[in-house]
Structure formats: structure tokens, C-alpha cells
Amino acid sequence: MSILALAICLQPSLLAQQPLDVLIVGGRIIDGSGSPFFYADVGIRGDSIAEIGSLRGRASRLQVHAHGLTLTPGFIDIHSHALGGIDNEPAAENYIRQGVTTVIEGPDGSSPLPLKPALEKLSKTPLGINLGFCVGHGRIRSAVMGSAQRPATAEEIEQMKTLAQQAMLDGAFGLSTGLFYVPGNYATTEEVIAIAKVVGKLGGFHISHMRDEANGVLESVRETIRIGEEGELPTQITHHKIIGKANWGKSVETLRLVEEARARGVDVTLDQYPYTASSTGLGAALIPQWAFAGGPQAWAERLQAPQQRARIKAEIVRRIENERGAGDARNIVLARCGFDPSLSGQNLAEVTRTRRKEVTMESVAETVLEIQQRGGCSAIFHAIAEADVERILKFPYTMVASDGGIPVFGKDHPHPRSYGAFARVLGRYVRERKLLSWEEAVRKMSALPAQRLKMWDRGMLRPGMKADVVILDPAAIGDRADFLRPHQYAVGVRDVLVNGRFVLKDGKMTSERPGRVLYGPARQ
């Protein structure tokens, strides 16, 4: 036998003799694949899982006992707005305490552009979590066409394709669309398909805040599927929900459309946050998209034109009555108002009343316009049925995602999803309601999003995978944040390792910041 062959044969045994950096013993392992749990020890060396098996007695620099606890892969949030808060809160404690170790930014058609400078800046920032990006179609369209409400020309589509290609080469995981938002709402499906083809050829996927999640939800699901089918790339309905009482129950039909598409070979999946309220900009949700065409000056002029203003107000009333407000202005609660922080936590009826107006749909619409003219607010909209939430969550192709960010603790009145989405699934829908098994829920949070992202070194507990590991108490895991008191951390996660280092140890945050910028499949 040659010396080289002998070295190759000896290498595994030599590695086994080297001390482990971390040895976790006695835990119940849910490995992320969806397979049944098992008991084993986990050995970590450097930033990776070295061994899984019976490892007691093995030399290690640190031994952690996990008797009575559960080990899972770090959770992957495929729809996050973390970028807005990562500079102020680089530890991302609200995510870490849920067991989230990786987030994907650039959702809803919005992202930095060009992408490379943002990635370079973040790579120099000590992070508590891993962070990756999609490139936003809305951002690309805005760079080429501004806020023009018209179909793109062939030349403009070529420019958009070039920008999308460069973003993929810079490290994007895929293309996000926000066809509900301006300017994405102004794009034709054909425009999106043309750009999606470029992204798909570079290994990326498409993820969409659909054009309509209320009365037009079925048509929007069909459009999202079409983008994947004709664009020849995986496609995902993000934060899937059914908005408005008249539409409740339509998840039966939307999920049937997904199943039919998958049966004919379209790789379509979903993600969801487990709440009966959504959150977005007040103006984006209630003011018709056409009113913003042409930019701020054109918007201001429309408000001064009596017929245009009346038309805008009529649409605001319709959306409050039939969609986002579920028929009651009290169902719309302001979350963050830069021009007046005291408004945070008040609903539209309360805000209207403080302006000494009788609370009618007409006066509430005027309040909305006044708020938008002063700079706008984000808001929470209670207009989703629990039955649709549960039906979508049970669907085998649904991932869990927060659609949340990294809030400053105690500031404003954010949606509780930023603090509790992942913990809520495990506490409420697994342990209490038994809607899902532990194994299925963990798969939806780890392996399923990792596979969608082509992130082959994360999402499962396997030797050779990166050591993003969560140790949690299955009897205690749960969310504390709610709509009245949103600033409350999740409970039940004891330890979190990111790339082999403890960011959370014995329930306390450490000073470690081992998070990394992650790059998509086409990065050069």
C-alpha cells in the first residue's frame, strides 16, 4: 500500500482521536429531514458537525448535557426584513431566542441594488445570525423605469435582465417579487417571466408577495405558478394568507391549485407566518396602487383633484370594509409612525376620534390620507381566519417564515411575528393543538427552506453540515409576544450554536457573533 493510500485509510481514525470542540450528550434529535426522532450525541469541531452517534467518553473541550431536551437544526427564515434592524441589533436576539440561525432578506420585490456593496458591508459586521439575500424585482424595475405605470419596453426588460443577472452573480439566492406593491404592481406577468428565466438559469428561485391576497387570491396563485412554469424555475407563494371575510375558506382552492401544479411538474411551494393578522404599510395596503404612479408629485396632485381624491377614498373604504379591515376600522392598528410615535398601538377608529371626527368609513378614509401625507405608518390588519392559517400550515409544501424584522426592544408596536413566529408553531400548533408532529414542524423550519435555497450545508443535523444547532425544551417552547404586548422574547430555547459557536448559552446571550453572509448558487 502506498503512503498516500495509507494516509487516506487512517484519516477517519485520526480525526476520531482529535478532541471535539463541543460534545452534546443525551439529547433527543429531530434532524430536520422529517424522519422520526432518535437519541444520540452530537460532536462539533470548528464550524461543522463532526460526528453523530454514541460519543460518550470522547475527549472534548466543552461537554453539554441535553437530557430531557431536544436538538434541532437552526431554523431558516426564508422571508425576513432583518436588514432594517441589523445595524442596531446585530445579535438578532429576537430571532436567536426562537432558534432561528439564518434569515433571507430582500423580500417583496425590495432589496439593495447593486447587491454587492451591501453584502461586502455586512460581511464586515459581527452578526449573531447568518444572512442571505434575494434580489427584488421592484427595486430592479424602479432603477430602470422609476414609478412609471406602463408595460416595460423590450429594451427596458433587457436592462432589468442584466441587473438581475449581476445580482445573482453577486450572491443572490433568487428573485423576489412584490406584485402587490408599487412599482411591481405595474409590471405584466410576461415581464416577470422574462427576468425569472435569467434567474432560473443561474440556479435561483422566485418568491412572491402575490398581486392580491384578498378577492383576487385565486388569480394571483395562478400567476405565481405561471411565473415558475414558464420561467422554468422553482416558485414560491410567500406568507400565504386569505384576507377578508368574504374570502375566508379559499385556502382549500389555493392549495388545490398548488397540488395540481406540482402534479404536472411545477416546483411550487409556500411559506407562512402563524397569525390571523398581517402587517405592511398603511398606504400600501389601503390606497390604490395607481394613485402612486409617477412619484410623489403626481400623488400630491391627485389628492388636490376632487374627482381623483373621491375615487381614492372610495377604494380605501372598500378595502377596509371587504379586505384588510374585515369591516371594522378597529381591526387596523398602527405599528410604527415615524412622524408621531405616540400613534403606535392605536387603531384607525381611535386615531380618527382623536381628530374630533365622528368615526365613519368616510372619516377613517380621510385619516388614512392624512397619515400618508405626513409620511405614512406601518400597520397591523386583523382580517385572517384561523381555519385558513391551520389549513395552510398543515400543507406539506408550506415552510414557516416570520415576515418580521429585528425591532428595537420596547420601541413602537410591531407585529408579534418578529418575536414569536417559529416558537409559536412549536408551542401552539405542535405541543398544544397537535396540528403537526415535532418532526414535520422542524422540517418546515429547516430542511425544507434549505432545499429551496440550495443551501446544501445547512438545514439538517448531519456530519459535515454546518453546526447551526438548537437545544430546546419541548415542554416550554412557545411565544410570549402578542398583539397587545409585542415586545416579549420567545421562551424554551436553552442553547443556540451558529457555525459551531454559542450565541445563546444556558438561556443567556453570549458575546459571540459568528454569523456569516451566505451566498447563492451563482456567486462569482
The full DSSP string for 365-399 is HHHHHHHHHTT--EEEEE-B-HHHHHHHHHSTTEE
214 shares a domain with 186: yes
* 332 pLDDT above the threshold of 70: yes
Q: Is the domain of 133 the same as that of 230? A: yes
Contact 126, 513 (CB under 8 A): yes
pLDDT category, 6, cuts 50, 70, 90? very low
Share of the chain above pLDDT 90, in %: 95
Give kind and range of the element (H or E) at residue 449. helix 447-453
Whether residue 488 is contained in a domain is answered as no
**pLDDT (mean) for 419-428:** 98
Lowest mean pLDDT among 358-362, 385-389, 502-506: 358-362
Average pLDDT over residues 200-218: 98
**Residue 58 contacts residue 18 (beta carbons within 8 Å):** no
Residues 229 and 364 in one domain: no
99, 240: one domain = yes
Is 481 inside any structural domain? no
Write out pLDDT tens, residues 80-94. 999 999 999 999 999
pLDDT-derived band at 7 (thresholds 50, 70, 90) equals very low
Reply yes or no on whether the pLDDT at 254 is more than 70.
Answer: yes
CB 424 within 8 A of CB 311: no
- Classify residue 469: in a domain, yes or no: no
Distances (CA, A) of 266 to 224, 262, 269, 271: 11, 5, 9, 16
Q: What percentage of the chain carries pLDDT values higher than 70?
A: 97
What does the pLDDT look like over 436-462, one tens digit per residue?
999 999 999 999 999 999 999 999 999
Beta bridge partners of 22: 44, 62
Domain boundary among 380, 404, 423: 380
C-alpha to C-alpha distance for 476 and 432, rounded to whole angstroms: 11
| 195 within 8 A of 161, measured Cβ to Cβ | yes
Per-residue pLDDT at 13: 53
Residue 159: its pLDDT value, please?
A: 98
- Domain around 189: 74-279+383-453
Same domain, 364 and 237: no
Per DSSP, 460 falls in state S
In terms of DSSP bridges, do strands 174-178 and 135-136 run parallel, antiparallel, or are they unpaired? parallel
Residue 51, domain member (yes or no): no
Domain limit, last residue, from 453, 474, 490: 453
What's residue 48's pLDDT?
98
CA 436 to chain centre: 20
Q: Is the same domain home to 250 and 370?
A: no
Asked if residue 217 and residue 354 are part of one domain, the reply reads no
Using left for φ > 0, alpha for ψ between -120 and 50, and beta otherwise, residue 37 falls in beta
Count of domains for the chain: 2
The whole-number pLDDT of residue 135 equals 98
Residue with cell 417552547: 477
Identify residue 161 by its one-letter amino acid code: K
Residue 1 has pLDDT above 60, yes or no: no
When pLDDT is cut at 50, 70 and 90, the band that residue 127 belongs to is very high
What is the structure's pLDDT at 56? Answer: 87
Residue 356's pLDDT band, with cuts at 50, 70 and 90, is confident
Q: Tell me: do 129 and 245 sit in the same domain.
A: yes
Is 203 part of any domain? yes
Same domain flag for 329 and 448: no
163 and 295 belong to one structural domain: no
User: Please, which residues have CB within 8 angstroms of residue 380's CB and are 6 or more apart in sequence?
Assistant: 277, 278, 279, 332, 333, 334, 335, 413, 415, 483
Arithmetic mean of pLDDT, 30-49: 98
- Residue 241 shares a structural domain with residue 186: yes
pLDDT of res. 355: 87
Domain annotation covers residue 265: yes
> Are residue 428 and residue 370 in the same domain, yes or no?
no
Determine how β-strand 332-336 pairs with β-strand 378-382: antiparallel
Residue that terminates a domain, selected from 320, 355, 380: 380
Residue 4 has pLDDT above 50, yes or no: no
Confidence at residue 10, expressed as pLDDT on a 0 to 100 scale: 47
Residue 368 lies in a domain: yes
Is 42 contained in some domain?
A: no
